[in-house]
């Protein structure tokens, strides 16, 4: 089925956004470009969101400085600029073609970084070989691809998969690529997609349900089996339990170091942007006001067409900077601009 006739890679916004981790900071030109090209004729809700962001940004710029606040707000709210841009233009892209291109590029890169090319020499990998090495195997280098991170790349692919109406061949090919990427977040995202896509069939098949329950028991009720820990470590009981305990400690430590004003509007400091618990760092930078605004926008603009893609992006951001990476900001803004299946097939 044809979704869109136009490739996103043929546009300045699409090309620079998707290939940011190969191009570098030059890709940030897309933000002022979109602001200049966007006609801000929007619903009242979108205006309220925009005005709220501007007010919070102004407070943060006054406290932390304009440059620092700009970097923090670009990181956390950049997807909104894409949303306003795509909604105003009302013209879609051929996302199926983009998905196949990215799938092919990921496969080729996985072969190259495990044979001919040292990954630390590529712009989308860390310079430190040990840091970029796989958590899954001592002999397989994980793929960073256009995401600049295995988790970001895999979630980006799964979110794209959810809107391209894939057949069995595409789904099988994606499963292989997800394994090659070697990301626990990607594995969870892909399994979640399969459950979401085949839920109606699962309800009609007790054998499939029984098998699924058995696998869950294998992963979570028998965590000491060495084979399970080796092959499914990133989604194993041990790892997830450790992760949950770590997140609790991180929340307690972060909140205890914030005063009332910081809890309300955040700190907007660059040093608080990072870490491996990105929704916590978002709260530290944006405070209660920014967090509520993000939640309200999410609930208002999510629908049956973009629902899975948006949900999986937001859910996996709890551990890595998925939503806050430039390629995923591009896709997130695009997904939020999709309002029905009818416009998905024609226009935004």
Angle at 167 between CA 162 and CA 170, to 5 degrees: 75
pLDDT of 1: 32
| The 3-state secondary structure of 254-317, one letter per residue | HHHCCCHHHHHHCCCCHHHCCCCCHHHHHHHHHHHHHHHHHHHHHHHHCCCCCHHHHHHHHHHC
Please spell the DSSP secondary structure of 121-139, one letter per residue: GSTTS-S-HHHHS-SS-SS
Rg (CA), the chain: 20
Distances (CA, A) of 61 to 54, 66, 75: 10, 4, 15
If you average pLDDT over every residue of the chain, what do you get? 82
Question: 3-state DSSP call for residue 113?
Answer: coil
Q: 164: closest CA among 137, 197, 207? A: 197
Residue range(s) defining the domain that contains residue 286 = 8-345
Q: What is the pTM of this model?
A: 0.84
pLDDT tens, position by position, 233-257: 555 566 666 667 777 777 777 777 7
Looking at residue 6, the DSSP 8-state letter turns out to be: S
Element (H, E) at 71: helix 66-89
| The 3-state secondary structure of 322-344, one letter per residue | CCCCHHHHHHHHHHHHCCCHHHH
Q: Which residues have a Cβ under 8 Å from the Cβ of 251 and sit 6 or more positions away? A: 277, 280
Percent of the chain with pLDDT over 70: 79
pLDDT exceeds cutoff 60 at 223: no
Angle at 41 between CA 35 and CA 45, to 5 degrees: 100
Establish if 1 belongs to a structural domain: no
Establish if 248 belongs to a structural domain: yes
Mean pLDDT calculated for residue range 106-111: 94
Burial (CB < 10 A; 0-12, 13-18, 19+), residue 330, is buried
Establish if 80 belongs to a structural domain: yes
Establish if 3 belongs to a structural domain: no
Residue pair 144/176 in contact by the 8 Å Cβ criterion: no
Least confident of 211-215, 240-244, 314-318, 330-334: 211-215
Distances (CA, A) of 324 to 44, 73, 80, 301: 25, 10, 11, 18
Establish if 2 belongs to a structural domain: no
More confident residue, 327 or 319: 327
pLDDT exceeds cutoff 60 at 14: yes
Number of domains in the chain: 1
pLDDT exceeds cutoff 60 at 170: yes
pLDDT tens, position by position, 268-295: 888 888 777 889 889 989 999 999 999 9
Distances (CA, A) of 165 to 43, 56, 178, 200, 334: 29, 39, 18, 16, 16
Element (H, E) at 244: helix 237-256
Establish if 331 belongs to a structural domain: yes
State the number of CA atoms in the 13 A half-sphere of 28 facing the CB.
Answer: 7
pLDDT exceeds cutoff 70 at 219: no
Mean pLDDT calculated for residue range 46-71: 93
């Amino acid at each position: 089925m044809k979704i869109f006739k136009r490739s996103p890679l043929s546009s300045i916004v699409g090309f620079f956004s998707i290939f940011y981790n190969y191009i570098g900071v030059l890709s940030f030109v897309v933000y002022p470009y979109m602001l200049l090209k966007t006609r801000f004729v929007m619903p009242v809700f979108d205006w309220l969101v925009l005005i709220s962001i501007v007010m919070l940004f102004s407070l943060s710029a006054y406290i932390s400085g304009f440059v620092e606040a700009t970097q923090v707000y670009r990181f956390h709210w950049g997807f909104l600029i894409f949303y306003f841009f795509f909604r105003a233009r009302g013209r879609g892209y051929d996302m199926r073609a983009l998905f196949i291109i990215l799938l092919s590029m990921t496969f080729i890169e996985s072969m190259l970084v495990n044979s001919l090319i040292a990954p630390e020499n590529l712009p989308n990998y860390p310079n430190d070989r040990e840091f970029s090495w796989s958590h899954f195997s001592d002999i397989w280098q994980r793929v960073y691809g256009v995401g600049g991170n295995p988790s970001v790349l895999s979630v980006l692919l799964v979110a794209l998969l959810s809107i391209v109406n894939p057949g069995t061949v595409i789904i099988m090919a994606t499963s292989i690529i997800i394994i090659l990427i070697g990301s626990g977040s990607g594995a969870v995202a892909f399994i979640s997609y399969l459950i979401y896509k085949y839920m109606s069939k699962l309800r009609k098949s007790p054998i499939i349900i029984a098998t699924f329950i058995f696998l869950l028991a294998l992963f979570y009720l028998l965590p000491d089996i060495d084979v399970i820990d080796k092959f499914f470590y990133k989604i194993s009981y041990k790892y997830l339990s450790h992760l949950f305990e770590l997140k609790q400690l991180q929340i307690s430590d972060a909140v205890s170091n914030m005063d009332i004003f910081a809890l309300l509007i955040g700190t907007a400091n660059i040093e608080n942007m990072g870490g491996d618990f990105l929704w916590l760092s978002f709260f530290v930078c944006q405070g209660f006001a920014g967090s509520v605004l993000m939640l309200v926008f999410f609930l208002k603009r999510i629908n049956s067409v973009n629902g899975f893609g948006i949900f999986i992006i937001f859910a996996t951001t709890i551990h890595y900077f998925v939503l806050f990476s430039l390629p995923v900001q591009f896709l997130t803004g695009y997904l939020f601009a999709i309002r029905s299946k009818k416009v998905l097939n024609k226009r935004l």
